[in-house]
Structure 1
């Protein structure tokens, strides 16, 4: 049987002597028992269908049925985006 030594720099085992091979050319693994860990038990998880928690919606708030936002929010958003665009365009020469 071959003697094995460990390289202190890498910790890798190096075999000295003749390596045993089978008729097919494979190196047999001896002294090691393959332990297969048990597979975890899995089951389906019931997911509550909550429309306020959909992954494609960010910062959604629940409002009472029939609630509408004020038109002033949209007017303010338009004015804010317009002002920001004009302010940024002032950085570029004409």
Structure 2
């Protein structure tokens, strides 16, 4: 499962045209994804976090989303990417 998620993550990021020498990919397993991301970033000198955002449901709006928690608590820069926008850009000609 880890390898499948890692491949999917790299496929997802490819259309963003991020510099390969300045990016690393990590798959984290945790009960709290936001806490896992924040903990990893803090202990690995991460300078920038890119996290995807999904549409909100009533429960997510009430409890808060992973991206909201990461933006609020991260010690580094955070970019939130709407997944729908990335999917639409994939359909555009280069």
TM-score, length of structure 2 as denominator length: 0.19
Higher-Rg structure is 1
